[in-house]
Amino acid sequence: MKKSKRTVLKIFIASVIALAICLALYILLNLYVFVGTVYFGPDTQEMRARLLYHTDHQALLDACREISRRVVIGDLRPGTYNIRVDPDPEASSFPQVILDLAPNYVYVDEGYSGRVMLEMHGGLGHLGVQAYPEDYKSPSYSKFGDKELIDGLWYYDDGYRKNPQWEKKTEALIQKGQARQVQQ
């Protein structure tokens, strides 16, 4: 009888340990899949490169300001316009430079400030740009973004808060993109 209790106890302890190991592996795998691919995965890196390296920032700013002007004249409502998933029908009339970037969505400030935001990637690792009209005056509590690309167009990226080296990586992409545009 004592042997069977010991055997049951050993099996129980082994089961608990195996379950704990499986749970730990499951958590680590999820962290790698969700955090790793969000911040460093190929899709996110490709979006970052498309936005910082392959895009004419002045053309993008002009396109965002065109959307802002359309809101002012009443041709477009402020709010969120999905682009990539379940596209909003009105978004098809957006300037081609925005559609070519294929952001998740375009947000036109509902406070009628004229700010237009292109969210390239959301979830655990946000990145995109915020464009401001020429006469925009930022309230004291507001931050334009993480990195000014050109006057009125700001890049934001959650990586800035997570990695102190992010500025160097971002700046390298921007410089390569600007050099590429000059050569064209």
Statement to judge: residues 13 and 24 lie in one domain: yes
| Overall number of domains in the chain | 2
What local confidence, expressed as pLDDT, does residue 181 receive?
Answer: 66
Statement to judge: residues 110 and 66 lie in one domain: yes
Statement to judge: residues 47 and 23 lie in one domain: no
Statement to judge: residues 5 and 79 lie in one domain: no
Statement to judge: residues 107 and 87 lie in one domain: yes
Q: What's the pTM value of the predicted model, to 2 decimals? A: 0.69
Statement to judge: residues 179 and 118 lie in one domain: yes
Segments in the chain forming alpha helices (H): 2-31, 37-40, 42-52, 57-72, 96-101, 159-162, 166-183
Kindly list the averaged pLDDT for each block of 10 residues, start to end, along the chain of length 184. 76 88 76 45 74 91 96 93 92 95 92 89 80 77 75 85 72 73 67
The model's pLDDT over 80-126, given as tens digits with 9 standing for 90+, comes to 999 988 999 999 999 999 999 999 999 999 887 889 999 998 766 78
Statement to judge: residues 5 and 62 lie in one domain: no
Domain that holds residue 105: 41-183
Statement to judge: residues 145 and 158 lie in one domain: yes
Statement to judge: residues 36 and 46 lie in one domain: no
